[in-house]
């Protein structure tokens, strides 16, 4: 066994490697040279038959050859692995411009609920707590205790579904004021959401069923100024800080003084358009200082306690916020509509 033999092994191995283009072949090839019984390993084993001088030269050369071969094979292995991965990438590449897939349909919270939450949370931030009452209500709570006795002209304002002489579908969430006054100790601040009903034929702007939210505060010395301040905070939270608010006199039997709140038109910014009928203002809620008769009717001393309330139509605000021109869409549950929010 000579140094020349080693070189020959090397040359042969390098030649063989050149024709190997597959990782598996490489793995098969490796032991034939460098494995336990590989050519080179066997050659090294022969070393013991050489003289010490020859052995030193031979050994050194053998190691060099082994290193060289190992390096070549390792490089080859890397190159082949790389190629294999690239091939896989290429094979499995997707068309990234093709549409995405969703395994479950797109669900959505109803826009009205979204707006309801926004309004509610604005009020929670002002120290209000949620409160609810029944949809089918005593006429007494819905009207009489609210200073709307039978025959009151303002009863015509609220066309009512009757269940019996004394039971109605509530026309507003205001009977909850009666319920809270009868059952809770003042002071308190309540936000009252709920479904209400009016005898209105369905059209683009009317619905016999709609959602109202009411803010109700009972405390000492509440004034119109407090009401105005509270509502400005509220309006800014719900509609944004650049919206203007106008408070103007109005009438509700259960409040005195009463007011209507307008905001600058969210569509035209106050310049006047179809939505605001050219006025630049949109009416969004009614409010007022609770009429002392109401407190008295509910056993709360109007000389000690004062209260204010405001009521807002959630459907209406939803239409305004999202620019929905037909309120019917809000009860049609068309997936194509709902998915837009």
Partner 1 sequence: MKLPLRWLKEYVDFDISIDEFKERMIMRGFEIAEVIEEMPNISNVYVGQVKSIAKHENSDKLFVCAVDIGRGENIQIVTNASYLFEGAIVPVALDGATLAGGLVIKNTVLRGVESYGMFCGKSELNIKDHEITGADDRILILNDASMIGKTIQEALGLDSVIFDIEITPNRQDCQSIIGICREAAAALGKKFKEPVIKHIEGSGNAADYASVTILNPTLCPRYVARVIKDIKIEPSPLWMQTKLRSVGLRPINNIVDITNYVLIEYGHPMHAFDLACVDSGAIIVRNAYENEKITTLDGVERETTPEMLLITDPKKPVGLAGIMGGENSGITENTKAVLFESAAFIADNIRRTSRKLGLVSDSAQRFMRGVEPVNAYLALERAVELVHELGAGTVVGEVIDVNYADISQRVIEVDTKRVNRIIGEELSPEYMKALLETINIESTVKGDTLVVNVPHYRVDIESGIESDHDIAEEVARLHGYEKLTPRLMSGRTFSGKLEPHVQAEDNIKNLLAGFGAYEMYNYSFMSPADLEKLMLPKDSRKRQAVRILNPLGEDQSLMRTTLTPGMLNTLAHNIRHKTKHNRFFEVGNIHFDKEDLPEEVKMLGLAFMGDGENFFTLKGVIEALFEFLGITGYRFKAGGSDYLCPGKKAEIFVNGDYIGEMGAVHPLVEKEYEISSAYIAEIEFNKLLKHKAAVKKYKSLPKFPSVERDIAIIVDDSAKCDDVCDIMYSTELDCVIENVTLFDVYKGAGIPEGKKSMAFSYTLRRDDKTLNDKEITEATNKLLMALECKLGAKLRQ
Residues 194-233 that bind partner 1 (CB under 8 A): 195, 197, 199, 201-202, 208-209, 217, 219-226, 228-230, 232-233
Out of 56, 136, 182, 204, the residue judged to bind partner 1 by CB under 8 A:
136
**# chain residues binding partner 1, by CB under 8 A:** 91
* Burial category of 34 from C-beta neighbours within 10 Å (exposed 0-12, middle 13-18, buried 19 and up): middle
CB 292 within 8 A of CB 257: no
DSSP string, 231-273: HHHHHHHHH-TT--EEEEEEEETTEEEEEEEEEE-TTTTTS--
Output the smallest distance, CB 133 to partner 1, in A. Answer: 10
Output the smallest distance, CB 50 to partner 1, in A. Answer: 56
Measured from the CB atom, the residue of 70 and 272 that comes closer to partner 1 is 272
Output the smallest distance, CB 169 to partner 1, in A. Answer: 7
Long-range contacts of 323-330 (CB under 8 A, 24+ apart): 323/267, 324/111, 325/204, 326/204, 327/204, 327/205, 327/206, 327/207, 327/210, 328/202, 328/203, 328/204, 328/207, 330/110, 330/111, 330/112, 330/207
Q: Is 250 a residue that touches partner 1 (CB under 8 A)?
A: yes
Sole window of 12-20, 66-74, 78-86, 130-138 interacting with partner 1 (rule: CB under 8 A) = 130-138
Sole window of 31-39, 91-99, 103-111, 263-271 interacting with partner 1 (rule: CB under 8 A) = 103-111
Q: Which of residues 55-84 bind partner 1 (CB under 8 A)?
A: none
Out of 138, 269, 270, 321, the residue judged to bind partner 1 by CB under 8 A:
138
Sole window of 9-17, 21-29, 88-96, 190-198 interacting with partner 1 (rule: CB under 8 A) = 190-198
Measured from the CB atom, the residue of 72 and 273 that comes closer to partner 1 is 273
Question: Of 109, 110, 163, nearest to 137 (Cα)?
Answer: 163
H/E element, 192:
strand 188-197
Output the smallest distance, CB 146 to partner 1, in A. Answer: 13
Could you say which DSSP state residue 80 is in? H
Query: What is the distance between the alpha carbons of residues 92 and 99, in angstroms, rounded to a whole number?
Result: 17
Output the smallest distance, CB 323 to partner 1, in A. Answer: 19
Output the smallest distance, CB 216 to partner 1, in A. Answer: 12
CB 220 within 8 A of CB 187: yes
Residues found in the chain: 341
Residue 136 tokens read as 């089918």
Measured from the CB atom, the residue of 50 and 154 that comes closer to partner 1 is 154
Measured from the CB atom, the residue of 41 and 244 that comes closer to partner 1 is 244
Q: Which of residues 149-168 bind partner 1 (CB under 8 A)?
A: 150-154, 156-157, 161-164, 167
Out of 52, 99, 107, 299, the residue judged to bind partner 1 by CB under 8 A:
107
Query: What is the distance between the alpha carbons of residues 239 and 223, in angstroms, rounded to a whole number?
Result: 24
Out of 180, 258, 264, 266, the residue judged to bind partner 1 by CB under 8 A:
258
Q: Is 127 a residue that touches partner 1 (CB under 8 A)?
A: yes
DSSP string, 27-41: HHHHHHHHSTT-HHH
Q: Is 322 a residue that touches partner 1 (CB under 8 A)?
A: no
């Amino acid at each position: 066994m000579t140094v020349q033999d080693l070189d020959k092994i090397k040359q042969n191995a390098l030649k063989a490697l050149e024709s190997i283009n597959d990782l598996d072949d490489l793995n098969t090839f490796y032991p034939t040279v460098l494995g336990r019984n590989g050519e080179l390993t066997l050659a090294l084993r022969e070393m013991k038959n050489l003289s010490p001088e020859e052995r030193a030269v031979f050994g050194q050369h053998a190691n060099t050859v082994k290193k060289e071969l190992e390096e070549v094979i390792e490089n080859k292995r890397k190159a082949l692995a790389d190629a294999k991965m690239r091939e896989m990438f290429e094979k499995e590449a997707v068309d990234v411009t093709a549409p995405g897939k969703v395994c479950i349909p797109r669900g959505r919270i109803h826009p009205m609920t979204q707006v309801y939450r926004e309004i509610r949370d604005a009020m929670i931030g002002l120290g209000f707590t949620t409160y609810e009452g029944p949809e089918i209500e005593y006429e007494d709570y819905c009207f009489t205790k609210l200073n709307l006795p039978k025959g009151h002209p303002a009863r015509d304002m609220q066309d009512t579904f009757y269940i019996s002489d004394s039971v109605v579908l509530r026309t507003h969430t205001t009977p909850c004021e009666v319920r809270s006054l009868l059952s809770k100790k003042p002071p308190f601040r309540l936000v009252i959401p709920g479904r209400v009903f009016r005898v209105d034929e369905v059209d683009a702007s009317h619905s016999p069923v709609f959602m109202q939210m009411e803010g109700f505060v009972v405390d000492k010395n509440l004034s119109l100024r407090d009401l105005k301040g509270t509502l400005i905070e509220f309006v800014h939270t719900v509609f944004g800080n650049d919206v203007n608010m106008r408070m103007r006199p109005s009438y509700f039997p259960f409040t005195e003084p009463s007011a209507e709140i307008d905001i600058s038109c969210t569509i035209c910014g106050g310049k006047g358009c179809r939505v605001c009928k050219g006025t630049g203002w949109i009416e969004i809620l009614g409010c007022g200082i609770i009429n002392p008769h109401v407190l008295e009717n509910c056993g709360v001393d109007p000389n000690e306690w004062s209260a204010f309330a405001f009521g807002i139509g959630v459907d209406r605000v939803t239409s305004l916020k999202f620019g929905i021109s037909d309120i019917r869409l809000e009860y049609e549950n068309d997936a194509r509509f709902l998915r837009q929010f």
